[in-house]
Amino acid sequence: MILITGGARSGKSSLAERLAASVSDRVLYIATSEVTDEEMAERIRLHRQARPAHWRTWEGSQQLASVIDQQAAGEAVILECITTLIANLMFELTGATPVETIDFATVETAIQRQIDELLAACARSPATIYLVTNELGMGIVPENRLARHFRDIAGRVNQRLAAAAESVLLVISGIEVKIK
pLDDT at 33: 79
Share of the chain above pLDDT 70, in %: 100
pLDDT at 34: 78
* Active-site residue, 47 included: yes
**Residue 12's CB: how many other CB atoms inside 10 A?**
26
Residue pair 22/72 in contact (Cβ under 8 Å)? The answer is: no
Tell me: pLDDT of 44 over 80. Answer: no
Q: What is the mean pLDDT of the chain?
A: 93
Residues 6+ apart with CB under 8 A from 73: 126, 127
Tell me the CATH number of domain 2-172, given options 3.40.630.10, 3.40.50.300, 3.40.50.2300, 3.30.470.20.
3.40.50.300
Residue spans of the domains in the chain: they are: 2-172
Cα-based distances in Å from 44 to 19, 31, 50, 125, 176 = 21, 9, 10, 27, 24
Residue pair 167/158 in contact (Cβ under 8 Å)? The answer is: no
pLDDT (tens digit per residue) in 135-169: 998 888 899 999 999 999 999 999 999 999 999 99
Taking the model in full, what pTM does it have? 0.94
pLDDT at 138: 87
| Secondary structure class of 88 (helix, strand, coil) | helix
Phi, psi (deg, nearest 5) at residue 98: -60, 135
Q: What is d(CA 15, CA 11) in angstroms, rounded to the nearest whole number?
A: 6
Q: What is d(CA 77, CA 56) in angstroms, rounded to the nearest whole number?
A: 10
Among the listed residues 19, 21, 26, 47, the single catalytic one is: 47
Q: Closest Cα partner for 105 from 96, 115, 94? A: 94
Q: What is d(CA 39, CA 7) in angstroms, rounded to the nearest whole number?
A: 20
Tell me: pLDDT of 57 over 80. Answer: yes
Pairing of strands 167-172, 175-178: antiparallel
The mean per-residue pLDDT over the stretch 22-30 comes to 95
